[in-house]
Amino acid sequence: MNIQSPEHASSSKDALPPLSRNSLSLLCDSGRISPSAWSRALDFCGFRPDGNAWLTYWRQVFLLGGVLFFLAGIICFIAWNWDDMQPFARMALVGVIVASAGIGSVVVGPDSRPGQALLLACGVAMGPMLAVFGQTYQTGAELWELFRVWTVLLVALALVGRQAGLWFAAWLSGNVLIALWLGRNLTSPFDGFTQFFAIPEWLVAIACALLLWEWAAQRAVRKDTQSWLRSRWLPRLLFLDLAARTSCYLIEGIFHSYRWSDAWQLWLPPQLVPFFAVALAGIAWWWYRKKEPDLFMLATLLGSGTVVLLAALAEAELFFDLGVVGAFLFWGLLVTGLTAGLAKMLLHLQKAMSAEESEKPARIIHLPSFLGRACPGVSWQMLWENLQAHGEELRDDPTPDAKEPYSPWYIKLLLALGGWLAAVLFMCFMGLLLFQTLNISSHEELTIFIVSVPVLLWGRAMLAGDKLFSRHFGFALAIAGTSGIAIALFLGLDSVIAACFVLAALLAVISVFMRNVAYTFLSSIGIVGCVGQGISNLIFTSARQGFADSVRLDIALLLPPLWWALLSLGLACFCLQEKRWRGTMRGQSADAWFFGAYTGMLVIQIWSLGLSYGLGAILDLPIFGSGGMGLGAAAGMTVLILFLTKKQSLTARVASMASIPLLFAFGWYLPGAALALLGLVMARQMGNAVMQGAVLVYFFAYMIFYYYNLAIPFSTKSTYLVASGLVLLLLALVLRVWQTKSSIEEAGRA
């Protein structure tokens, strides 16, 4: 992961990771760049939001939320008043949505991102419009005919709109169309989905669609290197779908889930699938290795082949004659060997393809920025030149932690799955060896603890290795050893409260000993959960003692808000003082603690919702886990607002101060919403796109859950949804006007 000068950049053999805020932080933590260079790089790349970026961010969040809530309210209104509405009124309401999205796309420009989003919304909304039309006028059309019309309309829009999203929507609609067409003569048309996934014809259809896309992309690149057909996510999804279906088809045949001669078919015989799979593997390997190098496709192909090979060995009952204990041992060794071989092949391919890529002209990388400001395009070479111009020095010598080139997430995922499977097999082997072969029946908690400690130490040794697979395998062993220690702890201690707090302390100590970022992240989640559950059990126990110990109960009730307030304030302070942690190896561990602690808060919030709505009564568990979390999140938001607006205009500071009472109201009535807002602010400030996306998904899921369980009539609920959407859209408009006015004032001063 060396950053070299421009004259040596082309000769670099080390693969650079995608230019992102996270990769810059890794460079700083490993000593390649100084904290001052890291800070300057954030400003140069646009990863640090300023006042205008914050306005853009919240405007787009409000716009997205407003559209979703408004559409949900309209749909609920139509559903509630279906019988009382005239047919024309039903069609008018749905048609307005389709027409507004289509006209809006034309107005803002179908080639712009808002225009593409509106055009996609228009295409998706056509499906409900067709359904309303069919239900209103009773056309007599079958369900598959509705999807046929919808697919044709989506294809027409995709040809005009020139975006992968519309083609993906058309692909999904076409899948449902074929499945329903197959089931048109069955008792239920949805029974056709079972047959749809077991016909060779659709495998050929996916292969043809993928071939057409790659052919069109090759032709488009010769004319325009920035063509929208250069997008790789859709062909990757198609190839993943094709590889998964083909593998499942082969595995079913291997295990004789059905007979080839009795399989349901249209025209092609099922015996064709093995030959199709061999031909597919050969052509795909040649194309994605030589013509259009794509490591994701090759990793998918190798992973699918490994799974099919394991299925064939299992059907051959390999090692089964050694008994259950021996079978688990040797199958664990087999999975370990296959995964290690897969890792070696993938890393070799990555290095070879990276070397070939480095010989090509440097490519401008469009920085990913989730609903926020970022430079339209920048490369590592441009960043190097900018830092050099400001007198910043970068080290070229390799650091001890950079033992391998950057590996994409899909390679890590494949090797992680193999490592976890091997670790599970070894754990089953050890469990059977202890409790079945050795007949241990007393002091189970002590036995589990004694066995778990060596497993944990083994995992620690593997984590320190320099091979990617060994680290994943060691991580799985470390989690297994930690789980064993936790089980032994809860079995050995009589008090659940004590077990929760002791486990939290042990996780903190073990995470320091393990010195692994992923383990620290999970430990942070576990610590937050253990402390929250321990406090909940303390309150639950105090409440059961009645009013005789009311003072103790009052003190216990103060613990949850105090704990969540301290945790939220700590997260806010870390977010604001991130520069203090950069430049040392502590930075990566600090990031793991930060993201893990917030994830733990989300887990506790979701868990408490499940307990509040029936799960608590089933499991007889306390439901106080998230008490005070919303107020604590509001306190953290207040600190962030005060510091982030300190250098902003007077209007921005006044508007931010006016929002603080609203935040505490959210924290009291909608604690999950306040927690989501805290996460959005921290994620945007930290420049973490994954965290922003995950928090947004949680936020909207929480609001759906809230409105679903709101104890009001359905008609009132639809009115609330529409009103919420209109308020958010109004806020987006206000921010838009504010942003435009600020831009005009800045231009005037310039």
Domain extents for the chain?
514-709
**pLDDT band at 442, cuts 50/70/90?**
low
Q: How far is CA 585 from CA 284, 399, 527, 686, in A?
A: 41, 12, 22, 18
**pLDDT band at 455, cuts 50/70/90?**
confident
In whole angstroms, give the CA distance from residue 618 to residue 407.
Answer: 44
Short-list 599, 598, 602, CA closest to 636:
598
Of 187-191, 222-226, 513-517, highest mean pLDDT: 513-517
- Determine the pLDDT at residue 544: 65
Contact criterion met (CB below 8 Å) for 630 and 670: yes
What tokens appear for 40 in the block? 């300057």
Residue 365: φ, ψ to 5°: -100, 120
In whole angstroms, give the CA distance from residue 122 to residue 281.
Answer: 38
In whole angstroms, give the CA distance from residue 424 to residue 336.
Answer: 11
Percent of the chain having pLDDT more than 90?
Answer: 11
Contact criterion met (CB below 8 Å) for 44 and 367: no
In whole angstroms, give the CA distance from residue 346 to residue 334.
Answer: 18
Contact criterion met (CB below 8 Å) for 627 and 556: no
**pLDDT band at 750, cuts 50/70/90?**
low
In whole angstroms, give the CA distance from residue 433 to residue 427.
Answer: 10
In whole angstroms, give the CA distance from residue 630 to residue 665.
Answer: 9
In whole angstroms, give the CA distance from residue 324 to residue 327.
Answer: 5
Whether the pLDDT of residue 283 is over 90: the answer is yes
Average pLDDT, the chain: 78
Q: What is the tens place of the pLDDT at every residue in 299-312?
A: 999 999 999 999 99
Across 144-171, average pLDDT: 86
Contact criterion met (CB below 8 Å) for 417 and 453: no
Q: For the packed helices 550-576 and 671-686, what is the interaxial angle rounded to 10 degrees?
A: 20
Higher pLDDT pick, 121 / 625 = 121
Amino acid letter, 582: R
In whole angstroms, give the CA distance from residue 703 to residue 61.
Answer: 14
- Determine the pLDDT at residue 262: 47
- What residues have CB less than 8 Å from 323, skipping those under 6 apart? none
Contact criterion met (CB below 8 Å) for 206 and 241: yes
**pLDDT band at 278, cuts 50/70/90?**
very high
**pLDDT band at 524, cuts 50/70/90?**
very high
- In sequence order, which ranges of 465-549 are alpha helices (DSSP H)? 468-492, 496-514, 517-544
Short-list 124, 146, 144, 126, CA closest to 134:
146
- Determine the pLDDT at residue 82: 63
- What residues have CB less than 8 Å from 618, skipping those under 6 apart? none
Whether the pLDDT of residue 654 is over 60: the answer is yes
- Determine the pLDDT at residue 301: 93
- Determine the pLDDT at residue 570: 92
In whole angstroms, give the CA distance from residue 182 to residue 407.
Answer: 42
Whether the pLDDT of residue 322 is over 90: the answer is no
What tokens appear for 673 in the block? 């919403």
In whole angstroms, give the CA distance from residue 237 to residue 242.
Answer: 9
Amino acid letter, 202: W
Amino acid letter, 683: A
In whole angstroms, give the CA distance from residue 33 to residue 25.
Answer: 9
In whole angstroms, give the CA distance from residue 314 to residue 325.
Answer: 16
In whole angstroms, give the CA distance from residue 608 to residue 534.
Answer: 13
DSSP letters, 244-284, are HHHHHHHHHHHTTSS-GGGS--SSS-TTHHHHHHHHHHHHH
- Determine the pLDDT at residue 649: 76
Q: What is the tens place of the pLDDT at every residue in 8-51?
A: 444 443 445 567 777 787 778 777 778 888 888 888 887 878 77
Higher pLDDT pick, 538 / 194 = 538
What tokens appear for 601 in the block? 């808060």
Q: What is the tens place of the pLDDT at every residue in 239-259?
A: 998 999 899 888 888 887 555
- Please tell me whether residue 622 adopts helix, strand or coil conformation: coil
Amino acid letter, 124: V
Amino acid letter, 230: R
- Determine the pLDDT at residue 12: 41
Count the helices and strands in the chain (H runs, E runs): 28, 0
Tokens 């909304």 belong to 125
Question: Exposed, middle or buried: residue 539 (CB in 10 Å: 0-12, 13-18, 19+)?
Answer: buried
Least confident of 76-90, 356-370, 388-402, 648-662: 356-370
* Residue 290: Cβ within 10 Å count: 9
CA 721 centroid distance within chain: 27
Longest distance between any two alpha carbons in the chain, whole Å: 84
- Determine the pLDDT at residue 88: 73
Short-list 485, 635, 605, 632, CA closest to 536:
605
- Determine the pLDDT at residue 505: 93
CA 242, 244, 247 angle in degrees (round to 5)? 105
- What residues have CB less than 8 Å from 219, skipping those under 6 apart? none
In whole angstroms, give the CA distance from residue 87 to residue 82.
Answer: 9
Q: Which residues of 325-346 are buried (b: 16+ CB within 10 A; e: fewer)?
A: bebbbbbbebbbebbbebbeeb
Across 373-389, average pLDDT: 71
Higher pLDDT pick, 331 / 411 = 331
- Please tell me whether residue 378 adopts helix, strand or coil conformation: strand
In whole angstroms, give the CA distance from residue 683 to residue 58.
Answer: 13
Short-list 568, 536, 538, 573, CA closest to 552:
538
Whether the pLDDT of residue 527 is over 90: the answer is yes
**pLDDT band at 619, cuts 50/70/90?**
very low
pTM of the model as a whole: 0.75
In whole angstroms, give the CA distance from residue 465 to residue 565.
Answer: 39
Whether the pLDDT of residue 373 is over 60: the answer is no
* Residue 649: Cβ within 10 Å count: 12
Q: What is the tens place of the pLDDT at every residue in 549-588?
A: 555 666 667 788 888 899 999 999 988 888 777 776 677 7
- What residues have CB less than 8 Å from 178, skipping those under 6 apart? 196, 202
Contact criterion met (CB below 8 Å) for 508 and 499: no
DSSP letters, 415-478, are HHHHHHHHHHHHHHHHHHIIIIIS---S-HHHHHHHHHHHHHHHHHHHHTSSSHHHHHHHHHHH
- What residues have CB less than 8 Å from 703, skipping those under 6 apart? 69, 673
- What residues have CB less than 8 Å from 611, skipping those under 6 apart? 619, 621, 622, 623, 625
In whole angstroms, give the CA distance from residue 584 to residue 25.
Answer: 10
Amino acid letter, 140: G
Contact criterion met (CB below 8 Å) for 637 and 678: yes
Contact criterion met (CB below 8 Å) for 686 and 372: no
Contact criterion met (CB below 8 Å) for 394 and 380: no
- Please tell me whether residue 623 adopts helix, strand or coil conformation: coil
Of 45-59, 192-206, 691-705, highest mean pLDDT: 691-705
**pLDDT band at 225, cuts 50/70/90?**
low
- Determine the pLDDT at residue 353: 82
Across 734-740, average pLDDT: 83
- What residues have CB less than 8 Å from 522, skipping those under 6 apart? 479, 596
CA 230 centroid distance within chain: 23
Short-list 687, 525, 505, 681, CA closest to 595:
525
